[in-house]
Chain A
């Protein structure tokens, strides 16, 4: 029998359609007269030629799209399933996502007990394949809470000045700032994750097409790592972001494109129209737009995030462009020994106010 998808069937149908078509054209005058018989023959001839062309079309379309592989398939005669088999085996077990390299206690003035712990860590990104070194601050009471499990909100700090001990974003000073606010009761106990913006080469925390997937690391890998290695709140609770001059683009970009994961962000004022590193746009205007944060604010749906520009300039275009539910605020720069204290307080309030936390 002629297969539904065979060339022979197509050729046969084409010949039949061609012959019928030519036949109708040729016998047209002979069927032109009056009489019920002739009219019936005309209708019959027309139906035959149309049906043959339609069949040919169907068989050709079916063949090119692979809809039905045989007559039995077309008529629904196949029954029964196949064999379900596992293709790959092997242990799903993986080594720890967070390796703690060193731990030290944080002390604050006027308190004899420890005000938290600062760890130096390596975080392995399960999906991105990136491994990033950084620091994690655990608040006072974190160890006690092992007996009474609780989940802590998370502040993610992205700053290149992490290595600079004198910078307010340096791990020691930032951990001490945070500890002081917590001890003073101005900030709820939080976990602070401190990472550099430069993952491999790009300091913009973007997924580089065909290159390092930094955004994937910061959004999904980090959440998995903190969720599995720490009692960080990762389930449907959004984090806060803090960026310095070098990590500001990264922090704001992550907040604007991953609002389900980040509720609030504090960055220095700026325009943020391009990542602070070599672009990966392949000369694509669409990707250039996608990585222009002003363009995003202008064109994408208003994201439910709070942005604080910590600096004296209030002429940033974000103020005029941001629309609900996105909120933009500014705060004057702080001087003194602990300039990040107001930013930390503000982030803590934003975390409390976030409905999903």
Chain B
């Protein structure tokens, strides 16, 4: 379609139409001034139409602010290319290309021109549509590089890259995800260091761009690292919904998309092959808000060989089923139970991972969050962060973020400068 959903043009069009609705009603007003049934009906219809146009404009504005859907296809589904009984991606293609392709450049300018990295840097790193080396970045393990201007800028402020992640085994493609590389990633002393990774899930429906805009995750990580309150890590910010507008809930759908495998295996593999990332569980953690909270906890509980810790903010830890998810469990009650994290804690051995559950008084998910916490038993470790006031919104999650990032930092193996294995350096971190 010609006019992009998140383009300024579309927002202005809807605003103009809403204003036009008011103006048109004002103009038509005298012609409907007779007290007849048809005319009264026409008045009601005009006011209703005006309301619809205003709601459309408000929704367009909210979508721009909160990045629910980044494109028309995310909102209403892709144009079906061919009809088949099940929709699985065509895979020979997916498997034959790079696991991660850097697509984004305009990361410096998030919505309304703000920087992804806040005042800690321009965030402008990758060049448009380029391969990693097009930006002159030392992205790949072991590659040496000449210090260029973009690298020295990155060494000060870090970098945010927009990436497409192709699942080698599942064929699933995460088309619009983001990777934050901390400043020390680009510093010569750390040229061979491997960094821990935090896989951060957005909610449903949320474009992960909002992890920079509303949540300010890279900016907060940069701020805390500068203050030596956390140690540097790579943040991979992903959209848990890989088949929008459907809510896939990070579930391996029987005879369908294997979304859990994608995030539990494909994404870590792709990140480890592309960036200087650690590969042990002590080098990987997951976090997320809303639907992303369920995904993060699920990753740690189902893939403890990959993730050692997870943080859930304002999540529901049961296997939900509604009109946005459709049939995720093959109609099987038993399979649905297996995707219910509370059922797992009641019926299966607990995995050896640590989970931090955050919520706030005033949220509907608080009782479920507390119930989930109380089911946790060794070797699984549970931690709670309950705010006395808050809601299901970014303001609440932003307030939780500093404590969450510090909790994660204490559980991840820090990158070690120079050669050799990474050793924890507790003295760097202020308690």
Interface residues of A (CB under 8 A from B): 21, 24-25, 28-29, 31-34, 39, 42-43, 46-47, 49-50, 53-54, 57, 65-70, 72-73, 76, 78-92, 94, 125-129, 207-211, 213, 220, 223-224, 235-236, 259-260, 280-287, 289-290, 295, 299-304, 323-325
Give the residue of A73, A128, A295 whose beta carbon is less than 8 angstroms from that of B349: A128
Please, which residues of chain B bring their CB within 8 A of the CB of A46? 22, 25-26, 47, 50
Nearest-neighbour CB distance to chain B for A9, whole angstroms, equals 15
Please, which residues of chain A bring their CB within 8 A of the CB of B44? 25
Interchain Cβ contacts within 8 Å, total number: 248
- Could you tell me if A282 and B333 are in contact, using CB atoms closer than 8 angstroms? yes
Q: How far is the CA of A304 from the CA of B96 in the complex (A)?
A: 11
- Could you tell me if A25 and B43 are in contact, using CB atoms closer than 8 angstroms? yes
- Could you tell me if B331 and A282 are in contact, using CB atoms closer than 8 angstroms? yes
- Could you tell me if B26 and A280 are in contact, using CB atoms closer than 8 angstroms? no
- The answer, yes or no, to whether B131 is at the interface (CB within 8 Å) is no
- Could you tell me if B352 and A260 are in contact, using CB atoms closer than 8 angstroms? no
- Could you tell me if B51 and A53 are in contact, using CB atoms closer than 8 angstroms? yes
- Could you tell me if B387 and A81 are in contact, using CB atoms closer than 8 angstroms? yes
Query: Assuming A70-B391, A78-B395, A300-B171, what are 16 further A-B pairs, CB within 8 angstroms?
Result: A21-B47, A25-B44, A32-B33, A53-B51, A80-B399, A81-B403, A82-B386, A88-B378, A127-B349, A210-B338, A211-B334, A260-B266, A290-B254, A301-B88, A304-B169, A323-B92
- Could you tell me if A280 and B255 are in contact, using CB atoms closer than 8 angstroms? no
Q: How far is the CA of A67 from the CA of B65 in the complex (A)?
A: 15
- Could you tell me if A29 and B349 are in contact, using CB atoms closer than 8 angstroms? no
- The answer, yes or no, to whether B360 is at the interface (CB within 8 Å) is yes
- Could you tell me if A82 and B253 are in contact, using CB atoms closer than 8 angstroms? no
- The answer, yes or no, to whether B421 is at the interface (CB within 8 Å) is no
- Could you tell me if B379 and A66 are in contact, using CB atoms closer than 8 angstroms? no
Please, which residues of chain A bring their CB within 8 A of the CB of B272? 236
> Contacts A72-B389, A301-B88: A87 and B376 contacting too (C-beta < 8 A)?
yes
Please, which residues of chain A bring their CB within 8 A of the CB of B258? 300
Q: How far is the CA of A87 from the CA of B312 in the complex (A)?
A: 15
Give the residue of A57, A82, A85, A236 whose beta carbon is less than 8 angstroms from that of B387: A82
Nearest-neighbour CB distance to chain A for B215, whole angstroms, equals 14
Give the residue of A39, A125, A211, A259 whose beta carbon is less than 8 angstroms from that of B169: A259
Q: How far is the CA of A210 from the CA of B258 in the complex (A)?
A: 19
Q: How far is the CA of A154 from the CA of B363 in the complex (A)?
A: 49
Query: Which residue of chain B lies nearest to A259 when distances are taken between CB atoms in the complex?
Result: B169
Nearest-neighbour CB distance to chain B for A45, whole angstroms, equals 9
- Could you tell me if B29 and A88 are in contact, using CB atoms closer than 8 angstroms? no
Closest 8 CB pairs of A and B: A209-B334, A301-B91, A210-B334, A286-B330, A69-B362, A301-B171, A32-B33, A289-B255
* B120-151 interface with A by 8 A CB criterion: none
Please, which residues of chain B bring their CB within 8 A of the CB of A81? 385, 387, 399-400, 402-403
- Could you tell me if B95 and A208 are in contact, using CB atoms closer than 8 angstroms? no
Please, which residues of chain A bring their CB within 8 A of the CB of B388? 82
Nearest-neighbour CB distance to chain B for A350, whole angstroms, equals 17
List 10 A-B residue pairs with CB atoms under 8 Å apart, sorted by A's residue number: A32-B30, A43-B26, A88-B380, A90-B378, A127-B349, A224-B305, A236-B279, A284-B335, A287-B332, A301-B94
Query: Which residue of chain B lies nearest to A325 when distances are taken between CB atoms in the complex?
Result: B95
- Could you tell me if A126 and B349 are in contact, using CB atoms closer than 8 angstroms? yes
Q: How far is the CA of A42 from the CA of B33 in the complex (A)?
A: 12
Give the residue of B29, B35, B352, B400 whose beta carbon is less than 8 angstroms from that of A82: B400
- The answer, yes or no, to whether B40 is at the interface (CB within 8 Å) is yes
Q: How far is the CA of A303 from the CA of B92 in the complex (A)?
A: 9
Please, which residues of chain A bring their CB within 8 A of the CB of B337? 209-210
* B93-108 interface with A by 8 A CB criterion: 94-96
- The answer, yes or no, to whether B351 is at the interface (CB within 8 Å) is yes
For A49, A73, A94, A295, which residue has the most chain B Cβ atoms within 10 angstroms? A73
Please, which residues of chain B bring their CB within 8 A of the CB of A213? 338, 348
Q: How far is the CA of A286 from the CA of B251 in the complex (A)?
A: 14
* B367-410 interface with A by 8 A CB criterion: 373-374, 376-393, 395-396, 399-400, 402-403, 407
Please, which residues of chain A bring their CB within 8 A of the CB of B338? 207, 209-210, 213
Please, which residues of chain A bring their CB within 8 A of the CB of B88? 299-301
Nearest-neighbour CB distance to chain B for A253, whole angstroms, equals 14
- Could you tell me if B58 and A28 are in contact, using CB atoms closer than 8 angstroms? no
Give the residue of A128, A259, A290 whose beta carbon is less than 8 angstroms from that of B330: A290
Please, which residues of chain B bring their CB within 8 A of the CB of A68? 391, 393
- Could you tell me if A301 and B378 are in contact, using CB atoms closer than 8 angstroms? no
Query: Which residue of chain B lies nearest to A31 when distances are taken between CB atoms in the complex?
Result: B29
- Could you tell me if B22 and A287 are in contact, using CB atoms closer than 8 angstroms? no
Q: How far is the CA of A299 from the CA of B254 in the complex (A)?
A: 12
Give the residue of A47, A66, A287, A301 whose beta carbon is less than 8 angstroms from that of B255: A287
